């Protein structure tokens, strides 16, 4: 369960802001106009090794030597001291806020502590555009404005920056022309950043609902910081580049490619499937052994099924609603297994097994098309469902 809660953390609040960032309340009020020597840049931090850093991060950096301003604004900060933190976190009601740091502090933290590459893109803005961005950020820092409801795909550290830039320069992004940023679903973009043979990846895909399968247009795909950086690189105003080419200010050492994880879900679930098939054949005439196996199997997967169902129906996590995995891992199978695994000859359980086998098959095909390892999570359960239905005939 602890691992699955970590998965939920990444899923619900996946594009992580640095936990290093903090709000300086005393300075969180609108400032004077920026001078003509000011510059505003998008700073993109590459994905890191840790779970919270899997998708990277982005900030807007404002500096003005005449005004002595050096602020890197970051969306996605949260407070562990919030009342009922874990319950709000689980429910999707945990407040998130904007914060700022000096750029030197962020560079040190991301380069020396987290060892993540950093690139800067300075935008070509006129005075009005600079001050539009600056005042929008400072206004969001006000106590009455700083908190907001974080949404994984639609309202995170990158989408907020995209919207602020687009408000200041409405015609810089030519979204319909950015074909390389369109065509994939939110889920597909997410999975590009995750290892296929990973329990975390499997858990996240099992928890995602139908909204994550929506095809993201070029603008929507900028929920990922790397995509926002690419969009800014392609942006133009009157045929001129809207921003400087990305300047790499820190290049992290190239990480070694991980080999196949024999303890990952692909290998371990295949082993479980083989074991279930073997035991089903070996003890096909021993109802007591099979009943005990079914209780254990449906009990463990049943807890997972109910948790996924709770995320889809009992929380504010919009991306988890209408989850097709709940057809494959139908939650009512536990605790009803206590009866249908023992009394398959009764008409009510024959009908029930017929229905859930159909639901399982639909959910299995649907889930496989979205992310094929999800099928491995459902097959142990499905094998026993079909075996029980055959026995009921």
Residues 87 and 145 in one domain: yes
| pLDDT confidence bin for 47, thresholds 50/70/90 | very high
Alpha-carbon distance of 58 to 223, in angstroms, equals 10
pLDDT digits (tens, 9 = 90+) for 298-337: 999 999 999 999 999 998 888 999 999 999 999 999 999 9
CA-nearest of 360, 315, 314 to 333 is 360
Indicate left, alpha or beta for 271 from its phi (over 0: left) and psi (-120 to 50: alpha): alpha
309 and 231 belong to one structural domain:
no
Biggest CA pair distance of the chain: 85
Question: Residue 193 pLDDT > 50, yes or no?
Answer: yes
- Residue 114: phi and psi, rounded to 5, are -100, -10
Classify residue 303: in a domain, yes or no: yes
pLDDT given for residue 31 in this prediction: 56
pLDDT at 147: 86
Residue 19 has pLDDT above 60, yes or no: no
Backbone angles phi, psi at 16, to 5 degrees: -80, 135
DSSP H helical ranges for 169-315:
186-191, 199-207, 225-234, 265-282, 287-313
Residues 66 and 128 in one domain: yes
Looking at the domain assignment, is residue 106 inside a domain?
yes
Domain that residue 303 falls in: 265-392
Which pLDDT score is estimated for 365? 97
**Does some domain include residue 321?**
yes
In the chain, how many domains are there? 2
Helix (H, G, I), strand (E, B) or coil at 195: coil
- Shared-domain flag, residues 299 and 223: no
- Work out whether the CA dihedral 217, 219, 220, 223 comes out positive or negative: positive
27 and 155 housed in the same domain: yes
pLDDT confidence of residue 7? 44
> Band of the pLDDT at 12, cuts 50, 70, 90?
very low
Q: Do 340 and 237 lie in a common domain? A: no
Is residue 206 included in any domain, yes or no? no
Q: Among 250, 274, 291, where does a domain finish?
A: 250
Q: Is residue 165 pLDDT above 50, yes or no?
A: yes
What is the percent of the chain with per-residue pLDDT over 70, rounded to a whole number? 91
| Predicted pLDDT at 23 | 38
Same domain, 245 and 269: no
Residue with tokens 């050492």: 253
Residues 223, 325 within the same domain: no
| Assigned token pair, 192 | 């590009």
């Amino acid at each position: 369960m602890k691992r699955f809660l970590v998965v939920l953390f990444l899923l619900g609040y996946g594009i992580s802001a640095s936990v290093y960032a903090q709000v300086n309340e005393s300075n969180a009020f609108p400032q004077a106009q920026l001078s003509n020597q000011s510059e505003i840049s998008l700073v993109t931090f590459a994905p890191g090794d840790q779970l919270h850093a899997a998708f990277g991060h982005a900030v807007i950096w404002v500096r003005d030597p005449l005004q002595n301003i050096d602020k890197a604004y970051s969306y996605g900060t949260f407070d562990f001291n919030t009342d009922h933190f874990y319950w709000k976190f689980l429910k999707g009601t945990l407040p998130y806020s904007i914060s700022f740091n000096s750029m030197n502090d962020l560079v040190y933290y991301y380069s020396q502590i987290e060892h993540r590459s950093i690139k800067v893109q300075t935008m070509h803005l006129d005075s009005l555009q600079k001050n539009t961005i600056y005042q929008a950020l400072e206004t969001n820092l006000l106590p009455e404005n700083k908190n907001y409801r974080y949404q994984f795909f639609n309202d995170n550290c990158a989408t907020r920056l995209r919207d602020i830039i687009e408000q200041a320069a409405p015609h810089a992004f030519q979204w319909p022309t950015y074909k390389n940023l369109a065509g994939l679903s939110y889920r597909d973009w997410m999975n590009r950043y995750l290892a296929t043979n990973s329990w975390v990846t499997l858990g996240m895909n099992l928890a995602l609902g139908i909204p994550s399968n929506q095809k993201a247009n070029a603008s929507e795909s900028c929920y990922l910081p790397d995509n926002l950086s690419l969009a800014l690189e392609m942006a133009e105003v009157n045929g001129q580049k809207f921003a400087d080419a990305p300047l790499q200010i820190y290049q992290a050492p190239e990480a070694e490619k991980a080999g196949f994880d024999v303890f990952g879900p692909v290998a371990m679930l295949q082993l479980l499937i083989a074991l279930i098939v073997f035991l089903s054949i070996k003890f096909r005439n021993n109802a007591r052994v099979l009943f005990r196996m079914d209780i254990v199997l449906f009990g463990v997967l049943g807890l997972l099924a109910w948790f996924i169902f709770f995320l889809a129906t009992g929380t504010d996590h919009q991306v988890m609603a209408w989850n097709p995995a709940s057809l494959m891992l139908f939650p009512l199978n536990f605790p009803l297994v206590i009866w249908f695994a023992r009394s398959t000859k009764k008409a009510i359980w024959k009908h029930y097994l017929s229905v859930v086998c159909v639901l399982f098959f639909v959910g299995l095909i649907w889930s496989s098309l979205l992310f094929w390892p999800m099928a491995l999570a459902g097959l142990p359960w499905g094998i026993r469902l079909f075996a029980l239905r055959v026995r009921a005939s």
